[in-house]
Amino acid sequence: MIPEPTETELSFLTWHHPSSGIFINPVTLERYCPLDNGRLKRCTFSSCGTSSNQLGAFSSIPVEISYSILEILDIQSLTACRAINWYFRSLVDELLPYKSIFKDCPEVLRALLSTKSASNFTIRQIYETLCSQACSECGQFAPFLDLFTGCRNCFPCILKSPNLRALPKSTLEKRLGRRIPSETLLTVPGEYAQIGRRYKQRYRLVRLSQSMIEELQGDPHDGFAKDQYRYMPIMRVPVLGMISGGEIERGRCCQACHLGPREEIEGYQDWNTSYSRSGYLEHFKVCKMAQIARAALPQYIKPSEEISRSAKYQFQGFISDYRFKVLFSQSF
């Protein structure tokens, strides 16, 4: 039986999709869409000093029922409720879905508000999505949130699924020769698709239906890896309630599949595939290159030394060199 990798070994054997350069950048959101939670003096239900006539019907409703009502409001309306008075601010801040999202991934609230998508979802819907793991397209582990649908998606589906194509509304209407009443999403300025270009303009994107795609045959945007509009509605998110190695689970990819031999070796999976910690451990059992790489780790991990970035780079070089050796041996 193959021993399970330690947390230190996992830090060498896996890698994470970056949050910036491909998808919505959480740093940009934090800079331009600050949340006021915690910035103002905290007010409790008993000390907020709000009179009953300011609360309207809420003055006679038990707190538990108030929570149930707030959970079915869309997030834009919920945000507006927080601004009414101190009582509502405290009520919303203590709402479990809202409190959990703000604690572990406030960038989701920022993104929904910034893209004008907040009115499309309740806080309960987004919370349940963040507590789930499965891609809405294929069912695999999915560390990304689609702000059009409020569903999770994995990276391979983001790259290839025809259901996740998008175009600016103005561009789409020009190409179709008619007006489109479809719902739009306002993009966040930033870098997308790893093509080294910063998009300063904010586009109103439309998610393409199958009928639109059929009308757009011959469209220069092929909808795949370098189509920046695929990435603009997407952000990386954790799985709420799932802790791995002392941290909230955000998904990881196999370094051996990324840098090592691919179809040439047993157990290879699409190198963009993300796994939970337990999912990766299952993959490790069948990935021969990951097992070979793990056996070489003592050369790079010194018990008496802190793990350095250069040690990880050297380890990655070992995997890459192994790939070229395999390819070279097969050419003769």
Q: What is the pLDDT of residues 125-161, one digit of tens each?
A: 999 999 999 999 999 999 999 999 999 999 999 988 9
Q: How confident is the model at residue 326 (pLDDT cuts 50, 70, 90)?
A: confident
Per-residue pLDDT, averaged over 239-260, amounts to 86
> Residue 217's CB: how many other CB atoms inside 10 A?
6
Residue that is written with structure tokens 């538990």 in the block = 64
Q: What are phi and psi of 168, to 5 degrees?
A: -60, 140
Examine residue 136 and state whether it is found in any structural domain, yes or no: no
Examine residue 112 and state whether it is found in any structural domain, yes or no: yes
Examine residue 288 and state whether it is found in any structural domain, yes or no: yes
> Residue 285's CB: how many other CB atoms inside 10 A?
13
By mean pLDDT, which of 13-22, 62-71, 127-136 is the weakest? 13-22
Q: Identify whether the C-beta of residue 141 lies closer than 8 Å to the C-beta of residue 279.
A: yes
Examine residue 57 and state whether it is found in any structural domain, yes or no: yes
Cα 1 to Cα 194: distance, rounded to the nearest angstrom? 40
Pairing of the two strands 184-186 and 190-191: unpaired
The answer to whether residues 149 and 197 belong to one domain is yes
The answer to whether residues 226 and 303 belong to one domain is no
Structurally, the chain folds into a number of domains equal to: 3
The answer to whether residues 32 and 103 belong to one domain is yes
Examine residue 2 and state whether it is found in any structural domain, yes or no: no
Mean of all residue pLDDT scores within the chain: 87
The answer to whether residues 187 and 231 belong to one domain is yes
Pairing of the two strands 239-244 and 247-249: antiparallel
Per-residue model confidence (pLDDT) at position 205: 96
Q: How confident is the model at residue 8 (pLDDT cuts 50, 70, 90)?
A: very high
The answer to whether residues 170 and 99 belong to one domain is no
The answer to whether residues 122 and 151 belong to one domain is no
The answer to whether residues 31 and 125 belong to one domain is yes
Look at 193 and 78; give whichever has higher pLDDT: 78
> Residue 28's CB: how many other CB atoms inside 10 A?
18
Per-residue pLDDT, averaged over 103-121, amounts to 96
Per-residue model confidence (pLDDT) at position 109: 97
End residue of a domain, out of 86, 102, 131? 131
Q: Is the pTM of this model over 0.85?
A: yes
The answer to whether residues 214 and 192 belong to one domain is yes
Q: How far is CA 176 from CA 170, 202, 213, 221, 328, in A?
A: 10, 21, 10, 14, 50
Examine residue 243 and state whether it is found in any structural domain, yes or no: no
Examine residue 43 and state whether it is found in any structural domain, yes or no: yes
CATH code of the domain in which 47 resides: 1.20.1280
Examine residue 240 and state whether it is found in any structural domain, yes or no: no
Q: Is 292 a residue whose pLDDT tops 80?
A: yes
Closest by CA to 117, choosing from 18, 197, 207, 37, is 207
| Run of H or E including 14 | strand 14-15
The answer to whether residues 33 and 68 belong to one domain is yes
Q: How confident is the model at residue 308 (pLDDT cuts 50, 70, 90)?
A: confident
End residue of a domain, out of 178, 207, 235? 235
Q: How far is CA 1 from CA 4, 138, 254, 285, in A?
A: 9, 30, 20, 9
> Residue 94's CB: how many other CB atoms inside 10 A?
14
Cα-based torsion angle of the residue sequence 278, 282, 285, 290 in order, rounded to the nearest 10 degrees? -70
The answer to whether residues 312 and 268 belong to one domain is yes
Cα 83 to Cα 65: distance, rounded to the nearest angstrom? 20
Q: How confident is the model at residue 103 (pLDDT cuts 50, 70, 90)?
A: very high
The answer to whether residues 56 and 88 belong to one domain is yes
The answer to whether residues 50 and 88 belong to one domain is yes
Per-residue pLDDT, averaged over 285-309, amounts to 89
End residue of a domain, out of 76, 103, 131? 131
By mean pLDDT, which of 31-40, 58-67, 278-287 is the weakest? 31-40
Domain hosting residue 199, numbered range = 144-235
